[in-house]
A = this chain, B = another copy of it.
Amino acid sequence: MLAINHRVGIEASAEKVYAALTTDAGLTLWWTNDISGAGDVGSIIKFRFNGGGPDFAVTELIPNKTVRWMHSGTTPESWIGTEVLFQLQADDKQTFVRFTHSNWQENSDFMAHCSTKWAVFLLSLKDALETNQGRPFPNDMQIDHS
């Protein structure tokens, strides 16, 4: 199965990382400045980038451990059927975030683009929690000139 995988280590407690993945206020620190709907399992989170963007249904939450979303709706088309999983594991120095965006149908240029872009946003999450300097859209690091 085609998947995007990443791993970062964040100098913050698992509780703080979990909050940044499960609340509108936390998610807007690092992914995009327009997010609504985050909540319990069954919630639909709307991530918006200049008006458009994906929806994800929250499908699993284990406090300070696991956050799982299933793509919902029809945008972007190649994300239909995909799943995003964040697995947290803390040690004495940091909380590791293991990220998986799985169930892609095609190893396309767009999948490769999203892989790089997810790295950028996970580093934004790291910076948001460590230095209060996240770079959510529209201040995200650009990876091309499109």
Residue positions of A touching B, CB distance < 8 A = 3-11, 93-94, 96, 98-100, 107, 109, 111-113, 115-116, 119-120, 122-123, 126, 141, 143-146
A6 and B144 contact, Cβ closer than 8 Å, known pairs A119-B119, A119-B120, A120-B119: no
Cβ contact within 8 Å between A107 and B8: no
Given the complex, which residues of B lie within 8 Å of A5, measured CB to CB? 4, 107, 111-112, 115
A1 to chain B, nearest CB (A): 10
Cβ contact within 8 Å between A99 and B112: yes
Query: Complex Cα distance A11/B100, Å?
Result: 30
Cβ contact within 8 Å between B119 and A8: no
Q: Which 4 A-B pairs have the closest CB atoms?
A: A9-B144, A119-B119, A7-B112, A5-B112
Cβ contact within 8 Å between B11 and A116: no
Which residue on chain B has the smallest CB distance to residue A11?
Answer: B145
* Known contacts A5-B112, A94-B144; 8 further A-B pairs (Cβ under 8 A): A4-B5, A6-B115, A6-B116, A6-B119, A7-B144, A9-B143, A10-B144, A120-B123
A32 to chain B, nearest CB (A): 19
